């Protein structure tokens, strides 16, 4: 019986992997310009990390985590998001003692048990960006700027930032009370999940995608009516900095994000021509999370984006990408194959992508293979070339051919020819 991949956990085949690689290359280039350094974290964590970090009333913890006991009886969970794990690493390795703002980025798989659908899977990949050590609104703006520049470099069309403030522990309780009062009169119209949220965390009702709940939320009190003076000033400065940076944004008082740890600035990047599901990335400030997970009282801010959704958005512009092949070496006969393997090795050490046929084939068949691989040039080595001590090199686009002497400097001459040819 054929063994297939687990539902919602997909293979990424080479023709798609080249697109993922391009996105990652842009990620490294843009984020490192902003001073972020790559961090790698484990796939498995103690379950309590996510219970304490994400919040026990969230859908992720209540319904979606892959949790199991190992042989020692310890409860472990496949990471459903990266922020809690990065905070754990920040605390465990005393990275807060460096005396500077720590900025990290990460790329890798996450796991959530939810209904698979286009762009959303049970194993999915995220890019995650985090910064620790300052609650300055200028850091908020710089983080948002890195997201905007990243998406612009990826050529995501018409990016706009949606912006909100969720207040702080000082001003949010009054807002919770106002939301409870507003939705209590409308309980009968709420979905079953939101009836539970009304008791446990009414803020989450604003994030509900059920149409009746969303309609009710449109007329709910907004957080901006309840922000304390510090939160108002912080939010005003963030908006001013974004205007200085010419980053387009609009206020969205209904945006709360899906995790309990967010405070003050929250944001999403949306693309204007993606229809209803326009969100590309999102994040916000989580000033109490480091302390909540056992570390010192150090503020943090970050964002995440799903790779599958990015690839889906960029599909048309990425379809022209292919794995490169600089040189294909066609060999005729065993002696020619020995020379071809040696030449391929030298060219690869000179950072050229080089392929050859491992099995004996006719020259016509090898040229077809070179075309399928998209080779820029083909080198032809046969008995006549060995006897004449020269090889044929063919430009696969123009079909022009030239001869090069078969000597110790052959690889250097081929490299020079490649560099001269656009």
The CATH code of the domain that includes 401 is 3.40.50.800
Closest CA to 285 of 322, 259, 306: 259
**Per-residue pLDDT, 181:** 87
Which residues pair with residue 132 across a beta bridge? 102, 300
The answer to whether position 273 is within a domain reads yes
CATH number at residue 58: 3.30.930.10
pLDDT of amino acid 90: 97
Same domain assignment for residues 149 and 283: yes
Q: Do 54 and 81 reside in the same domain of the chain?
A: yes
Domain end marker among 285, 300, 318: 318
Decide if 338 is inside a domain: yes
The reply to whether 75 and 153 lie within a common domain is yes
Note whether 139 and 23 are same-domain residues: yes
- Of the pLDDT bands very low, low, confident and very high (cuts 50, 70, 90), residue 215 is confident
Same domain, 155 and 250: yes
Establish if 183 belongs to a structural domain. no
218 within domain boundaries = no
In the predicted structure, residue 118 carries a pLDDT above the cut 90: no
- Mean pLDDT for all residues in the chain: 90
> Do 314 and 330 fall within a single domain?
no
- Per the CB < 8 A criterion, the answer to whether 84 and 53 are in contact is yes
**Which of 259, 290, 318 is the endpoint of a domain?**
318
Range of the domain at 392: 325-416
Examine the domain organization and report whether 241 and 362 are in the same domain.
Answer: no
Do both 243 and 364 map to the same domain? no
Q: What is the pLDDT of residue 273?
A: 58
pLDDT > 90 fraction of the chain, expressed in percent and rounded = 64
For residue 125, tell me if it sits in a domain. yes
Structure confidence by residue, pLDDT tens digits, 225-262: 899 999 999 999 999 999 999 999 999 988 877 666 78
Strands (E), 272-368: 279-285, 300-306, 325-331, 354-356
Which pTM value belongs to this model? 0.86
Higher pLDDT, 317 or 329: 329
Mean pLDDT, residues 379-388 taken together: 90
Q: Is 213 part of any domain?
A: no
209 is a domain residue: no
Q: What's residue 271's pLDDT?
A: 85
Neighbours of 12 (CB within 10 A): 13
Q: Is the per-residue pLDDT at 222 higher than 70?
A: yes
91 and 231 in one domain? yes
Tokens matching residue 271: 């693309």
Please, which pLDDT band fits residue 274 given cuts at 50, 70 and 90? low
Q: Is the pLDDT of residue 83 over 60?
A: yes
Q: Who's near 189: CB < 8 A, 6+ residues apart?
A: 212, 213, 216
Of 273, 302, 318, the one marking the end of a domain is 318
Given a cut of 90, is residue 150 above it in pLDDT? yes
pLDDT of 72 > 60? The answer is yes
The verdict on residue 187 lying in a domain is no
CA distance 420 to 406: 20
User: Which is it for strands 159-165 and 249-251: parallel, antiparallel or unpaired?
Assistant: parallel
Same domain (yes/no): 306, 358:
no
| Domain shared by 55 and 146, yes or no | yes
Q: How many domains does the chain have?
A: 2
Which of these, 28, 13, 217, 207, lies nearest to 107 by C-alpha position? 28
Do 278 and 329 share a domain, yes or no? no
317 pLDDT band (50/70/90 cuts)?
A: confident
């Amino acid at each position: 019986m054929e063994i297939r991949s687990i539902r919602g956990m997909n293979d990424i085949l080479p023709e798609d992997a080249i697109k993922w690689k391009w996105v990652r290359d842009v990620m490294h280039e843009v984020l490192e310009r902003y001073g972020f350094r790559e961090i790698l974290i484990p796939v498995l964590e103690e379950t309590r990390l996510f219970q304490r970090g994400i919040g026990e009333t969230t859908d992720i913890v209540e319904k979606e985590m892959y949790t199991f006991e190992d042989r020692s009886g310890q409860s472990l969970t496949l990471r459903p998001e990266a922020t809690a794990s990065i905070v754990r690493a920040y605390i465990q390795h005393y990275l807060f003692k460096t005396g500077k703002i720590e900025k990290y980025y990460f790329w890798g798989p996450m796991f959530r048990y939810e209904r698979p659908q286009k762009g959303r899977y049970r194993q999915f990949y995220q890019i995650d960006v985090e910064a620790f050590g300052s609650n300055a609104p200028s850091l908020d703006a710089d983080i948002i700027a890195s997201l905007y520049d990243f998406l612009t470099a990826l050529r995501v069309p018409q990016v706009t930032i949606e912006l909100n403030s969720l207040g702080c522990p000082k001003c949010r309780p009054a807002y919770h009370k106002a939301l409870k009062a507003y939705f209590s009169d409308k309980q009968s119209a709420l979905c079953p999940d939101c009836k539970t949220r009304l008791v446990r965390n009414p803020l989450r009702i604003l994030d509900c995608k059920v149409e009746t709940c969303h309609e009710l939320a449109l007329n709910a009190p907004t957080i901006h009516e309840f922000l304390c003076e510090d939160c108002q000033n912080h939010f005003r400065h963030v908006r001013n900095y974004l205007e200085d940076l010419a980053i387009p944004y609009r206020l969205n008082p209904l945006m709360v994000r899906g995790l309990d740890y967010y405070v003050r600035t929250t944001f999403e990047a949306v693309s204007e021509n993606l229809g209803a599901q326009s969100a590309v990335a999102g994040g916000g400030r989580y000033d109490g999370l480091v302390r909540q997970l056992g570390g010192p009282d150090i503020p943090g801010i970050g964002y995440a984006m799903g790779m599958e959704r990015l690839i889906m958005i960029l599909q048309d512009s990425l379809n022209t990408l292919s794995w490169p092949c600089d040189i294909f070496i066609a060999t005729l006969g065993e002696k020619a194959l020995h020379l071809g393997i040696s030449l391929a090795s030298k060219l690869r050490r000179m950072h050229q992508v080089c392929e050859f046929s491992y099995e004996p084939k006719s020259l016509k068949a090898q040229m077809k293979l070179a075309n399928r691989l998209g080779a820029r040039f083909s080198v032809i080595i046969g008995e006549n070339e060995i006897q004449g001590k020269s090889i044929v090199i063919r430009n696969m686009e123009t079909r022009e051919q030239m001869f090069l002497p078969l000597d110790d400097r052959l690889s250097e001459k081929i490299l020079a020819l490649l560099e001269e040819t656009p």
